[in-house]
Structure 1
């Protein structure tokens, strides 16, 4: 059954028009009145809602909400990513696949070696685009909690904010002495994870030292040098598969 993101509080029997994005999705699928859909994104009830298409307009779709399904498909452990943005369409791919693997949030970063440089209106448009990519990925994969894509920031600016309490923080590193990711994750199995990694070319030594000085543990995914977008996905997959 088609899944549509509808970020509002819902209740059985409620009739309303979908968001423009949701209506466009229904129309692209050529659904008709009487067809069933699944709504998710309720910030209060969570889970999913059954719904039925009632009316189709030229640019609007009215639905009626049915029963609530208390289903969640999120990983047992929240993982947040802070990523040096890879260039071209690789960031889109990273957001899509990270969402499928259950990432809790993504912080796009500009670092010393970043190829992609964004600011002002262009940065805002990219953030909105990536948030839409995350929504579409949740509609496809069955996730009911869309990860938050934060505004683009420089690594220096981001490091000036206090580190959130209760997070187990690591930086993906090729430096000697880095510990395996799952070994570090096992030191506090209940803690959410925050993982930082660089763009093409990695973090500079100065940037990595700045992270280490703030208590980030250097972690490794193994001896191979992975592309920036591959490293993020490999880390998420390793944690998900291990149930860590």
Structure 2
């Protein structure tokens, strides 16, 4: 392995952005995980001395450079902090009933890009997906990787929490937020008439929608209805449209 020469960064914003779970401090040297190392060394063909950007979810993005390169292992040294994310002006907790195939991946990816703080996969009466045991654990780990990848791409330095799967009935009782919304036309109020909340719990149903009993339960838990125009939206479209509207009215859009 070659030791790195002294390197002066010309354009750090053009450098690839990589996630690492390791603690990051200036002048620390860390070994990247194998998948990230292979991506840098084999796919991007980077070498000792090349700049990269790192984040680990603590809210900072770090300037670093490759200092050692093997076949499947890259060591990097942290040189400084590029930027720090400010606290999100709006804490959005998304309760999303699990959808089929890659639709849930899409929802998690885009909700991460749009700035949600936490996502809870939900099971409802009309949910067609059933997860148990190891299959559930693997799916959660996969969804967390989807969120990390979305942070890498979007420049976000804080990773939204992907919480364990819950029954919808439990989530509506347990969630704590200034404003609770369900995508359903009951008891809806124009957003313009509401005071700006610090936190929002947003619940989005499956393709078959919520049952009347589920809507009644949400209403008893102080959820208000939210509708998004006259058209019926797919579950993955509805979640992202709603988050976008909330970010525009009260968030950082």
Tell me if both proteins adopt one fold, taking TM over 0.5 as the criterion: yes
1:106 Cα deviation (Å)?
0.6
1:11 Cα deviation (Å)?
1.4
Query: Residues of 2 paired with 1:230 and 1:128: CA distance?
Result: 23
Q: Is 2:153 the counterpart of 1:146?
A: no
1:25 to 39, 47, 50: 39
1:220 Cα deviation (Å)?
1.5
Q: Which residue of 1 aligns with 2:222?
A: 215
Relative distance call for 1:134 and 1:58 in structure 2 (3 A) is: same
2:178–2:197 CA contact under 8 A, matched in 1: no
1:74 Cα deviation (Å)?
6.6
Instruction: Return the TM-score normalized by structure 2.
Output: 0.86
Q: Which residue of 2 aligns with 1:107?
A: 120
**Range that drifts further, 64-73 or 98-107:** 64-73
1:36 Cα deviation (Å)?
0.6
2:28–2:78 CA contact under 8 A, matched in 1: yes
1:102 Cα deviation (Å)?
0.9
State the structure with more CA Rg.
2
Query: Residues of 2 paired with 1:39 and 1:218: CA distance?
Result: 40
Query: Residues of 2 paired with 1:13 and 1:121: CA distance?
Result: 39
Moved over 4 A (4+): none
Relative distance call for 1:133 and 1:191 in structure 2 (3 A) is: same
Query: Residues of 1 paired with 2:155 and 2:236: CA distance?
Result: 22
Instruction: Give unpaired runs (5+ residues) of structure 2.
Output: 1-14
1:172 Cα deviation (Å)?
1.0
Query: Residues of 2 paired with 1:119 and 1:188: CA distance?
Result: 40
1:4–1:25 CA contact under 8 A, matched in 2: no
1:163 to 171, 175, 184: 175
2:179–2:197 CA contact under 8 A, matched in 1: no
CA RMSD of aligned residues (A): 1.8
Q: Which residue of 2 aligns with 1:197?
A: 204
1:192 Cα deviation (Å)?
1.0
Alignment length, in residue pairs? 236
Instruction: Give unpaired runs (5+ residues) of structure 1.
Output: none
Instruction: Return the TM-score normalized by structure 1.
Output: 0.89
